[in-house]
Structure 1
Amino acid sequence: MAINRIAFYHLETLLWIARLGTFAAAAARLNTTQPAISARVRELESHLGTALFRREGRAMALTPAGRELVRESEPLWARFQTVLTGCSDIGGARGVVRVGSGEIAAAICLPDFVTALGLDLPNVTLEIDIALTVDLIQQLASGQADMIFGAGPVAHPLLRSTPIGGVDLLWLASPAIASAPPPRPPVWSLSSASPLYHIVKDALARSPLAASPVNLCNNVRTMIDIVTRGGGVGAFPEAMVRAHLDSGRLARLPDMPPLPQIAFHVAVRAAESDPLVLAIFGRASDLRL
């Protein structure tokens, strides 16, 4: 067995395929090509004298020998990364970190957070994806994202999360509608997969507008623009509409029940071992909305 020919990149490749499930996903994560990933696997299997993967449909499943190697290699790889990080300045770290965020969290906390991060980690590239929390959780669990900012509880057995505070919601409309609400104005909300939808529906059922139709949109800023132009009412984060309230373009809707805060969490995979990702996660965990 040619153990002396096994390089660290062989183990790194193995662990990312095991985590992401396909050679293509591992190639994207490691900034290389799928043929290069296949070549690394063939080299590793040749050196070990055993097959590590078998194809199951479009995914690659570990063989018993592959599962054992992954189980034994993961703590060693994590320790190796920690040792290297301890020998270097984290400020000089390089790499691509994929961050997912809901639109509300992105608008409220990401600009300052990303700006400060860029000053402290100038060689780190961020790829930011804005999506609903339910989609972000799946991206994180599958390894397509390294860290996420999510609305509501981030509950998944493969993830760990830290609360970073909540955001106040206000019932708002254009001044004309707020002063004389029609009987059934349309109410705007994010999709039913969003915590905001359930907050709006629960409060709406206890309000004078219980018979109003609920229109759905996947973009909060678009909903704010619609409501500002007199296209209905909505429940919006105060931090995103403060300028609209100050300028008089939006007004609070009277006689509506109070809305609970939307809680936000930052999350990573429970098994995350990359020192750079963990360092960024630590900084994000200190945020307070």
Structure 2
Amino acid sequence: MAVKLSRLVRRTGRGATPLTVPELSLVLKSNQPPERVLSRALSSVASLLRLWRVQCLDLTDFWIQGHSLITLLCHQGPLSLRLNSDTLQQLTVVVYEAQDKDLTQWFLEKVGGDLTSCRLDLEVLLSLLQHSTHNITVDLRKNRLLEKNISDLLPFLGRVIFKRSSSSFVKSTIRQIYDSRASDCVSSLLRSSDHWINLNSRELDRVDCTALGFILQHCHQVKVNLLWTSIPPGEIESILPLLDRVSQLSVDRRLLLSFLQCCAASQIQQGAPPPPPPTAVWLLRSLHYRLDFSCSSSVDLSAQDQEGGSVSDH
């Protein structure tokens, strides 16, 4: 059908205004057609693309060898490709092996930079980032090894969007940023994580808390998830003055009580009469003026370890 349609359009479409098609799907009788049949169909689709303005080409119904899609990647025009996960995985490898900047850029533009269904080696991801200017979205649950190579990713942090980011990854990243004193990477980290600092169910040491403070010093209106987070004695005092940078704070009732006790101790030491000191105001504001000591605020949410750390008990 694609072949016949291509021929018909070529015969009748000469000199006519190109037809704009929002979405075009290629559907074959078999989910696994012979390669020659698929190759001929794709060739006909490529011909249609030269005659029609197709905004989205849906090829999710069957698996296609990556090299067969090179012609479509080279198509000049605002075309997006919708592929199944197996096809996208192989096409990613084909583009990586080509080591061609133009092809890499076209590939990421056609798939919208969305590689969340792919398993990526660090070498592959770095190559795609180095050979293009496009943002890339990855699923950290499928790419756990990336967590061990944060220093290599740091220069590209502003162009990587992390889906299902883990709190262990965030902890390691803020530590790496602090160790490098890379304050310019803070905004990149926040963009990649939807402005969430998710430290859910992590055990923080003194340096981790210092690293968190460094991040907070270089940002505004950030959301912080400290549900079931262990903070060493004496370190809450260093975090409290920075809560004016936090737009939303998620804590369990144990940690909430520690924050409140720290505020009270600070007020007693200073002998400050009402109104309360700024730290207490900032704490209440970050909690949206809700003090939740119910059992629901102590439910362990570590198994969910949500995208960007957006779970809150308030």
Same fold by TM-score, threshold 0.5 exceeded? no
Could you say which structure has the higher helix fraction? Answer: 2
Larger Rg: 2
Range of TM-score over shorter length: under 0.3
Could you say which structure has the higher strand fraction? Answer: 1
With a CA cutoff of 8 Å and minimum separation of 6, indicate the structure with the bigger relative contact order. Answer: 1
Q: TM-score, normalised by structure 2?
A: 0.22
